[in-house]
Structure 1
């Protein structure tokens, strides 16, 4: 699983929380506002329906009132003769017309009043005033009026040229029929009061003109489910709109349906008139109802996007403010070394979080304590190293003394006083070099001088069986080295290089390269066996795994002893090589790498 950085996790967490809050608010706002808006819009549609019903019912009531007034008017019955024959004179027509107009009122509740008899004549007053024969277009409605037994009969909208002054212009009309009775309450004719559709549906037409494309669709159906508004459409369009009537229920004032015209979701408000039997439907598409919500949603999305952008910036700055000090602390830890502990004061770095400030203070406290501990440990190590070096300096193979004293006695018995004096002088200088506790380090020149005296003593002992040669470049003689660094290697070379027939030859030489120097001790003995190389390798590996000062050895310093002391002295950057030459003789090299600011001039 791929790990993320702390900053990315904090950034995602901050941004996720902000996004969750914003989108939750947006969703709540949309659902709440859309619900309230739908309720408000449906309530407005119901109010519209109620106003349409009131206005249309009022117009139909006016027509019905005129017909009732005519039916119950004694004047109309006195003007007409008892036979109720409408084939009347001009004076009687004028009287009846005036009567109808007076009963219609000053507001002309009816545009046209027609009085039919059963002899086939009609008396017209209003838009058209005359007496004429009845045509067959009225037969159906006249029959319905007679069968209604005094109740009103409302027609569907119809198109007629009858009341126009010009045959080019037609009019949409609605009529109310009612039977006409004489003074004996016997039906002798039919009264028709008619009004133009544009007047009856005036409120609906005015609403549609005022709102244009934003207006809801208004449909009016009669009690048989026939569409009566809009009235000026084709039969095919009317049949499609009639599906709205079947899709709604009279028991519900509002409902959600699928448009039979567009197959889109719509909301319909319905109200039924108990007076006319008309059903009023106001239909509005869901998209139109929620259009303000969609506009508000766009604004809301823009606001959410702006807040998200702000959240991204704030989240980034917050996560960075937390992570930046941690990274700063990490870089301090990465570049911290033992010799720089406690030098850099991390508490001076400004932080804005209390926990991070506490972390900085804790790290500073740890760094200071660690510095103190390392100083104490270093001092203890230095003291231990000094003590061990002192012990090593005082340590010497007793056989060397025994053999040297034996050689002096033999020389004395032979009368070689000069050699005895030189031998004693060298032994004295060797003992003084070893027992001098003033310093644990010397120049390479002093160490090689000690090696020279040691080899001289060994030469006196072995005489012609031992030869030696020291050839070290003068540029290296000033290099500082621990005491007894080269002598143990020479001692081992004599010890293991003499396991063959004499003469034995010991060589001490130097190598200077571009970036290192080394001292090489070579013998002409049988060299290192494979077993010896493996043992030395194991001892060196064990020493690397358990770093520290070497253990003292009673019988000599040992190869590992020299390796560890040289490694501690050089801080690990050393050269230590062992093996055999091409001729199979033993060779050991010890040296170090030259730093950039150190330069050795080779002579």
Structure 2
């Protein structure tokens, strides 16, 4: 799992809470308002539908009222003879025309009234007033009227030139047919009352003209699902609109469906007239109905974005106010060193949170206690290191003294006074160097001078069997090193390098580079065995796991002592090597890197075993 900073976690937590509240409110507001807006639009469509139905039903009812009044008028029956022969005189035609107009009223409920007999004549009054032979196109409707037994028959819209003054402009009409009876209630003819479609659908046409840009689509169907309105479109377009009738039913006042014309979602409100049998559909695209909702969404999103921006700023400031003191404390800890421990007072930093204030106080208390503890520990450590270094200075093979004194005795017996004097002088300087506890570090020049006197004493003992060479670059002679750092290597070289036939040679050489220097002690003996290398490696590993100088023993752990003291002195800049050179002879090296940025070394990588 990827780790995040405390500030980012707090920021995300605060912002998530703000987003949850904002978006929950926005979703609730949207659903609530959108539902109300949609209900309002659909209610308006239902109201509009009802008004269309009322106006059209009223117009059809007026036509039907005129036909009923004519049918029950005794005047019409008195004008016509009992045979009901419409082949009448002009005077009778004028009387019937006046009668029809008076029954239609001043508002002209019917623009045209036609009275048909069964002998093939029709009496017309209104837009056209005459008596003529019946048109064969009316035969179907006349037959339906006779079979309806006095019930009204409403035709589909049709266009005709019959009532037009000009043959260029036909009129769209709708007719109501009803059978005509005589005084004996016998059907003797058929009454037709007709009116222009533009008058019957006046309210729909007026609505579409006033709202032509945003008007809903209005469709009117009869009982058979045939399109009644719009009436002046092609049969192809009428067939495309017809599926609206089958996609809705009278059990629902509003329906959401896919438009058969555009394929887009629309809302349709339906009203069915029991009087005419017409079905009224008002269809509006969903995008138009939800347009206020979409506008509201834009406003709502702008408000949410503004609140979200404020939430981001507040969340950032809150998270930063909590994390900033923690970061400040972190920087103090990063800058803290043993020398500056306890100097910087964190309690002076202003904190607005009680828990962080307690954390600061606790850290300050810990820092002060840690400083006191570190001072005590440092003093104790320095005393321990001084005691161990002093103890190591006294750790020299007692056999060296025994052998040196024996050599002096032999030289005195042989009368070699000069050599005895020089030997005693060197031995005295060696003892003074070792027993001087006032200094634990010396220069390489002083250490090599001590090693040179030590090798001189060993040369006196072994005579021609032992040779030594010291070749160290003068540029490093002033480097500081712990006292008795090289002598244990030389002592081991003499001890183990003489485990073969003489002559034996001890060589002390140096290597100097731009970023390091190294002193190497080499003998001409048989070299390190595998068991010896393994034992030394094990002792060094234990020393790394258990910091501090090991228990001091005569003739024991000289290599480990040198390693630990040199590591304590150099820290990570240490160079420490042991093993066999290319000729199979033993070698041991100490050195130091002088440019810290050029190295990245751990202790194990500095201990190399040569084969």
After TM superposition, the score normalised by the length of structure 2 is 0.78
Q: 1:415, CA displacement in angstroms?
A: 6.4
Residues 7 and 323 in structure 2, CA contact (< 8 A), matched pair in contact too: no
1:482-497 to 2 correspondences below 5 Å: 482-497=482-497
State the partner residue of 2:393.
393
Q: Secondary structure of the equivalent of 2:274?
A: coil
Partner of 1:56: 56
Q: 1:51 to 1:435 in 2, by over 3 A?
A: same
Partners of 1:522 and 1:71 in 2: CA distance = 147
Give per-residue Cα distances to partners, 1:338-383, cap 9 Å, x unaligned: 6676677888999998878877777776666555544433322211
Distance 1:441 1:273 in 2: 119
Cα drift, residue 384 of structure 1: 0.5
In 1, Cα distance between equivalents of 2:213 and 2:249? 27
**Local SS of the residue matching 2:172:** strand
SS of aligned partner of 2:192:
strand
1:54, CA displacement in angstroms?
0.9
CA-CA distance at 1:108 after TM superposition: 1.8
| Distance of 2:251 and 2:453 partners within structure 1 | 129
How far the C-alpha of 1:55 sits from its partner, in A, is 0.8
Quote the residue 1:66 is aligned against.
66
**How far 1:386 sits from its partner (Å)?**
0.4
Per the alignment, residue 281 of structure 2 pairs with 281
User: In structure 2, how many angstroms separate the alpha carbons of the residues matched to 1:186 and 1:350?
Assistant: 112
Instruction: From the superposition, tell whether residues 387 and 82 of structure 1 become closer, same or farther in structure 2 (CA, over 3 Å).
Output: same
Deviation at 1:519, TM superposition (A): 4.0
Q: Give ranges in structure 1 of 5+ residues lacking alignment.
A: 598-603
- Distance (Å, rounded) in 2 between the aligned partners of 1:446 and 1:256: 105
Would the alpha carbon gap of residues 465 and 361 (structure 1) be closer, same or farther in structure 2, given more than 3 Å must change? same
Distance 1:147 1:536 in 2: 129
User: Which residues of 2 match residues 500-519 of structure 1 at below 5 A?
Assistant: 500=500, 506=506, 508=508, 510-519=510-519
Q: In 2, distance between residues paired with 1:118 and 1:324?
A: 106
Q: How far apart are the structure 2 equivalents of 1:468 and 1:136?
A: 149
Q: Distance in 1 between matches of 2:293 and 2:315?
A: 30
1:215 corresponds to 2:191 = no
Q: How does 1:460-539 map to 2 (within 5 A)?
A: 461-462=461-462, 472=472, 474-500=474-500, 506=506, 508=508, 510-523=510-523, 525=525, 527-529=527-529, 531-539=531-539
From the superposition, tell whether residues 330 and 87 of structure 1 become closer, same or farther in structure 2 (CA, over 3 Å): same
State the alpha-carbon separation in 2 of the partners of residues 158 and 116 from structure 1.
Answer: 19
Structure-2 residue corresponding to 1:173:
173
1:294-324: per-residue Cα shift (whole Å, max 9, x none)?
5656776787788889988998998898889
What secondary structure, in the 3-state scheme, does the structure 1 residue paired with 2:484 have? Answer: coil
Per-residue Cα deviation, 1:529-556 (whole angstroms, up to 9, x for no partner): 5544444444334434433223212247
In the alignment, what sits opposite 1:158? 158
1:601 — aligned with what? none
Judge which range, 319-328 or 199-208, deviates more: 319-328
Distance 1:468 1:302, change over 3 A: same
Deviation string 1:505-541 (CA, Å, 9 cap, x unpaired) is: 5555555444444444455555545544444444334
Q: Please state how far the C-alpha of 1:205 moved relative to its aligned partner.
A: 1.7
Range 3-12 or range 372-381, more displaced:
3-12
Alignment partner, residue 126 of structure 2: 126
Aligned to 1:565: 565
Separation (CA, whole Å) in 2 of partners of 1:253 and 1:294: 25
Matches within 5 A, 1:580-591: 586-591=586-591
SS class of match (1:252)? coil
| Residues 1:232 and 2:232 aligned together | yes
Cα distance in 2, alignment partners of residues 281 and 596 from structure 1: 91
Counterparts of 1:84-103 in structure 2, within 5 Å, are 86-103=86-103
Within 2, Cα distance between the matches of 1:149 and 1:398?
Answer: 152
- Counterpart of 1:114 in structure 2 is 114
Q: Is the 8 A contact 1:499 1:526 kept in 2?
A: yes
- Report deviation, 1:52: 1.4
Deviates more, 1:63-72 or 1:419-428: 419-428
Matched, 1:197 2:197: yes
Q: Displacement of 1:268 after TM fit?
A: 3.3
Q: Which residue of 1 aligns with 2:574?
A: 574
Give the Cα–Cα distance (whole angstroms) in 2 for the partners of residues 239 and 593 of structure 1.
98
Listed as ranges, the gaps of 5+ residues in structure 2 are 598-611
> Which residue of 2 is the match for residue 600 of structure 1?
none
Distance change (3 Å), C-alpha of 1:401 and 1:188: closer
CA distance in 1, matches of 2:513, 2:53: 115
1:249 is paired with a residue whose SS is coil
1:207-356 alignment runs, 5 A limit: 207-212=207-212, 214-235=214-235, 237-238=237-238, 241-257=241-257, 259=259, 265-293=265-293
Q: Which residue of 2 aligns with 1:43?
A: 43
CA RMSD of aligned residues (A): 4.7
Residues 512 and 127 (structure 1), Cα distance of their counterparts in 2 relative to 1, 3 Å cut:
closer
From the superposition, tell whether residues 418 and 317 of structure 1 become closer, same or farther in structure 2 (CA, over 3 Å): same
Query: In structure 2, how many angstroms separate the alpha carbons of the residues matched to 1:344 and 1:352?
Result: 20
Shift in alpha-carbon separation, 1:142–1:372, aligned structure 2, 3 A? same
Q: Deviations over 1:151-187 (max 9, x none)?
A: 4443333323222223333222223334445556565
> How does the TM-score come out when normalised to structure 1?
0.79
- Bigger mean CA offset, 117-126 vs 97-106: 117-126
Aligned counterparts of 1:225 and 1:581: Cα–Cα separation in 2: 112
